[in-house]
Chains A and B, each alone.
Chain A
Amino acid sequence: MTRFGSVVAAAIVALLALAPLVLGSFAVGLLNDVGIGALVALGLVLLTGVGGLTSFGQAAFVGIAAYASAWLTTTHGASPWFGLLFALAATGVSACLIGMLTLRLGGHFLPLSTIAWGLSISLLFGNIDALGRHSGLSNIPPLHLGTMSLTTPESVYYLIWPIFGLAYWFIHNLLNSRPGRAVRSLRGGATLLASVGADAFRVRLTLFVTAALLAGISGWLYAHTNRFVSPSPFDLRASIEYLLMAVAGGLGQLAGALVGAGLVFLVKNSLQDLLPLLSQRGGQLDGVAFAILFLVLLQHARGGMMGFVSRRGQGRPGAPTLPARRPVPALLRRSLPAPGTPLLAVAGAVKHFGGLVAVNDVSFAMRAGEIVGLIGPNGAGKSTMFNLITGTLPMSAGQVEFLGRDISTAPQRHIARLGMARTFQHVKLRPKMSLLDNVACGAYARTRCGMLASGLRLNRAEEQQIHDEAMRQLTRIGLADRAHEQAGSLPLGTQRILEIARALAADPVLLVLDEPAAGLRRQEKAALGELLRRLRADGISILIVEHDMAFVMKLVDRLVVMNFGAKLVEGPPAEVRANRAVQSAYLGANP
């Protein structure tokens, strides 16, 4: 956070701490509602804004927690604090089940499924006898701290807002950590995450459960401050209202949750005063007003309120001020195989896409410490071959052996964890993350800290190691001085080089590069060639697809030439250059 940011944050905390001393009970009650709503919105900013998963069912999780705690405390006379544990368990388990069922869905089917379960759960509340059906549960006990009962809005205020503060701090820490970077990469697609050894589905699931637990805490607070629950505050309309909070505040920043919740409750409150003056049925018209507000936001301000703030130039993070550094040991490196030992063996690889044979019975091998080039005219099947080797696409037939292991059917992330790191023909970077964070993603498989440890800042030593490693790789490719700029601000050619740094952060045995020189100028190409030769000297093997013949011929030890999905020839550059079949494939001349 920048210095300006910390000053603003401190001012907001101080204002919130002092508010009940100045404001009346009504306003404090309203602020309590804002705090309770903001917790749900925080989860939605995390889920939708950061992770790209839209939920139209978040109110259902609020409801599960509220009903769970209400039921336990009213029918079994349990303490609300036991109620909290029970509520979180109920929310967590249901989120986990729903997530496992639905989070593999792609595109717009996932948001549509959230409507289905969101509706079903709120319908269930109104039809279960133990939960009081449509009349709900009343006489819920208030919260208490020791012997003090928190019945007044002022006393609950000092519970709600510290909880929100803690949740905010937790999520903020989380996002700036190893699992957080994986969450922020989710929108880049499952292939990107798998290429650094992460399981996109698991990341999505933990994210989904985290957001649901935030909604759960909110539901528990709701049940014990209102002391009455009924189905209607947890229906689809309520879910849309939470989404409105997140969008109105701004899905791009965590603070958007707070701003949005404040805005929605302020508008709602003033509408309740204003609308009855306009029409007899005005009291029921706030739905219309909210719908219009939402539509206007979608048309004109999709970044929300915080979008305006960051557009004014304060949201751009400068260099983060790292705390006083303790020296940490560097991340462990794996032992590289001795040069000359067999590294990769492809035998009879075949890939069909329907009736099209993209790769037809290709076999080749490479040894540790080699640079092998894969060349061929457009459409020869080079990139498909790469996708087969790295496990991005399943093979139709054939076998791939890497470091003596059969990886023909292994999923992409396992292959990545074995030490095969790749770059992409169509760059897969997160344009809004800094160069440093993008490269740090590469070290995912070498580190361990999970969400809980990261949120509680128990990960400092490991984060320092990751930071050092990422800086080392950025220095290696000559971009260390731009470490804190956004990756999207780099020219496309340089972005390809940045992908190499991310691959290197994984400490690979074999580097698989898909057209790394495309879009580079002559001097940059020379520098790239120099870098790749240095890597070979360090013991890293490289498999490369490239169109720039001059570049490839100077660099590689051996070439494999493909044409129409099949292997044409294989050999040292000079030999391949002289080959008639290769010449005719490229130039179309008769052999």
Chain B
Amino acid sequence: MNWDVALILTVGGLATGSVYLLAGLGLVLIFSVTRVVFVPFGDIAAFAALSLAAFETGTTPPTIGLVLTLASLAVVAELWQLMRRRELARMPRVLMVWGLLPALPCLAAWWVTGRNLPAIAGIVASILLVVPIAPLIARIALRPIADASVLVLLIASLALHFLLSGLGLLFFGPEGSRTHPLVAGATTLPGGFPVSMQVLLMIASAIVLSGLFYLLFERTLHGKALRATAINRVGARLVGIRPARTAALAYGGGSLLAGLIGVLIAPVTTIYYDSGFIIGLKAFVAAIIGGLASYPLTALGALAVGLVESFASFWSGALKDVFVFGTLIPVLLLRSLLASRIEEEEEEIDE
């Protein structure tokens, strides 16, 4: 390996690392507010990528069917709850929030399809299209067990991943797709080293979005409500923050990030219905480096994961994932050494 190769690997690693960075932020956001380790995150990103591919070929993205299916399930769940509580007066509101709201991006996507609009329309539509997915599946499957232990939520979340990837196969089929680059061309770094604009775009988006993320959390009331819920849910409730609403906000924010990731990676790798899982898991490695709590550490961890993956693939393309997941073990060991040794009783599934 010479310096040129190392530089190429470093830039490639930073580009994938910035994808993991965005995913890691989404995962930490969802975990800190809801205690759910949100495994289906990557699936949602893959769905955004596949939607964009559908727009490019001029076909209606199957995602519409997926979102509407989930929305109708959520409406059924909500109505069932209203019936049991005898609060049918709230029905119009429920239909608005869980039925109409998710249908809006579907409508937009349907309208965009097949018209000769600039590429940006398809990109925006793909991102918006997947935004309802996380809040919807969380409403259907996770809200009824919101008070269960982290472990039960983790198992449920894994089951949700298999549900989504099964549905992905049903709606998108087994074929993979790759989209046109969002920005064409390449530029030259000082020193005569060429970098494609797409890679620069990925790194730039990560920087800009994490900056926005920081501002959102530090400067807005909603961001502060999210942080408050993460630190102490009972306390947040006592000052009037509604946990279900902050959870929906966190899921929505996570979903939005997943959509962005989807359109960012769609031009650089071929995406299949189940490609998201591995992306999500690698973002987890980053999130765990941050202890599922710290955003800056997660960001650093994500870049490290991207670099490890990039360099590992130089030695053995087939085993690069083993290397990445292997790095988790020393990280976890370090975490458990650093963790305060406060005695906590083991979590129980069956109670």
Chain A residues in the interface with B (C-beta under 8 A)? 48-49, 52-54, 56, 101-102, 104-109, 111-113, 115-117, 119-120, 123-124, 126-127, 186-191, 237, 240, 243, 247, 250-252, 279, 281, 284-285, 287-288, 290-292, 294-295, 298-299, 302-304, 307
For B163, give its contact among A191, A247, A295 (CB under 8 Å): A295
B288 close to chain A: CB less than 8 A? yes
B298 close to chain A: CB less than 8 A? no
In the assembled complex, which residues on chain B have CB atoms less than 8 Å from the CB atom of A190?
343
Q: Across the interface, do B336 and A104 meet the contact criterion of CB distance under 8 Å? A: yes
**Residue among A105, A108, A240, A243 with max Cβ neighbours from chain B (10 Å):** A108
Interface size on B, residues (CB 8 A): 50
4 A-B pairs with least C-beta separation: A288-B166, A52-B346, A291-B163, A187-B346
Q: Quick one: given A112-B37, A187-B345, A243-B155, are A302 and B350 in contact (CB under 8 Å)?
A: yes
In the assembled complex, which residues on chain A have CB atoms less than 8 Å from the CB atom of B158?
56, 240
In the assembled complex, which residues on chain A have CB atoms less than 8 Å from the CB atom of B336?
104-106, 109
Q: Across the interface, do A290 and B162 meet the contact criterion of CB distance under 8 Å? A: yes
Interface-facing stretch out of B226-234, B247-255, B318-326: B318-326
A247 (CB) vs chain B CBs: closest residue: B349
B175 close to chain A: CB less than 8 A? no
In the assembled complex, which residues on chain A have CB atoms less than 8 Å from the CB atom of B239?
none
Q: Across the interface, do B347 and A302 meet the contact criterion of CB distance under 8 Å? A: no
B344 close to chain A: CB less than 8 A? yes
Q: Across the interface, do B170 and A251 meet the contact criterion of CB distance under 8 Å? A: no
For B350, give its contact among A290, A292, A304 (CB under 8 Å): A304
Interface-facing stretch out of B48-56, B88-96, B97-105, B146-154: B146-154
In the assembled complex, which residues on chain B have CB atoms less than 8 Å from the CB atom of A303?
350
Q: Across the interface, do A251 and B350 meet the contact criterion of CB distance under 8 Å? A: yes
- Within 142-175 of B, Cβ neighbours of A (below 8 Å) are at 144-145, 148, 150-152, 154-156, 158-160, 162-163, 165-167, 169-170, 173
Interface-facing stretch out of B9-17, B18-26, B202-210, B327-335: B327-335
Q: Across the interface, do B156 and A112 meet the contact criterion of CB distance under 8 Å? A: no
B141 close to chain A: CB less than 8 A? yes
Q: Across the interface, do A116 and B333 meet the contact criterion of CB distance under 8 Å? A: no
In the assembled complex, which residues on chain B have CB atoms less than 8 Å from the CB atom of A302?
152, 349-351
Q: With A and B bound together, what is the CA distance between A307 and B155 in angstroms?
A: 19
A134 (CB) vs chain B CBs: closest residue: B318
Q: With A and B bound together, what is the CA distance between A250 and B333 in angstroms?
A: 31
For B349, give its contact among A49, A101, A109, A281 (CB under 8 Å): A49
In the assembled complex, which residues on chain A have CB atoms less than 8 Å from the CB atom of B141?
295, 299
For B328, give its contact among A49, A113, A251, A299 (CB under 8 Å): A113
Q: Across the interface, do B166 and A284 meet the contact criterion of CB distance under 8 Å? A: yes
B149 (CB) vs chain A CBs: closest residue: A108
In the assembled complex, which residues on chain B have CB atoms less than 8 Å from the CB atom of A111?
151, 154
Q: Across the interface, do A106 and B339 meet the contact criterion of CB distance under 8 Å? A: yes
B284 close to chain A: CB less than 8 A? yes
Q: Across the interface, do A116 and B159 meet the contact criterion of CB distance under 8 Å? A: no
In the assembled complex, which residues on chain B have CB atoms less than 8 Å from the CB atom of A284?
166, 169-170
Q: Across the interface, do B325 and A116 meet the contact criterion of CB distance under 8 Å? A: yes
User: What are 25 A-B contacts defined by CB distance under 8 Å?
Assistant: A49-B349, A105-B333, A105-B336, A106-B336, A107-B347, A108-B150, A112-B37, A112-B284, A116-B328, A117-B325, A117-B329, A119-B281, A120-B326, A124-B322, A186-B346, A190-B343, A247-B349, A281-B173, A284-B169, A288-B167, A290-B159, A290-B162, A294-B155, A298-B152, A302-B351
With A105-B332, A240-B158, A302-B351 given, can you name 4 additional A-B contacts, CB distance below 8 Å? Answer: A288-B166, A298-B156, A299-B144, A303-B350
Q: Across the interface, do A108 and B154 meet the contact criterion of CB distance under 8 Å? A: yes
Q: Across the interface, do B166 and A287 meet the contact criterion of CB distance under 8 Å? A: yes
A301 CB to closest chain B CB (Å) equals: 9
B56 CB to closest chain A CB (Å) equals: 24
Q: Across the interface, do B144 and A251 meet the contact criterion of CB distance under 8 Å? A: no
In the assembled complex, which residues on chain A have CB atoms less than 8 Å from the CB atom of B339?
106
Q: With A and B bound together, what is the CA distance between A23 and B244 in angstroms?
A: 52
Q: Across the interface, do A116 and B346 meet the contact criterion of CB distance under 8 Å? A: no
A227 CB to closest chain B CB (Å) equals: 26
Q: With A and B bound together, what is the CA distance between A188 and B348 in angstroms?
A: 11
Q: Across the interface, do B150 and A291 meet the contact criterion of CB distance under 8 Å? A: no
Q: Quick one: given A119-B325, A188-B345, are A281 and B169 in contact (CB under 8 Å)?
A: yes
B285 close to chain A: CB less than 8 A? yes
Q: Mark B294-329, 1 if CB is under 8 A from A, else 0.
A: 000000000000000000000010110110011011
Q: With A and B bound together, what is the CA distance between A539 and B172 in angstroms?
A: 78
In the assembled complex, which residues on chain A have CB atoms less than 8 Å from the CB atom of B318?
126-127
Q: With A and B bound together, what is the CA distance between A127 and B319 in angstroms?
A: 7
For A307, give its contact among B144, B325, B333, B350 (CB under 8 Å): B350
In the assembled complex, which residues on chain A have CB atoms less than 8 Å from the CB atom of B335?
105, 109
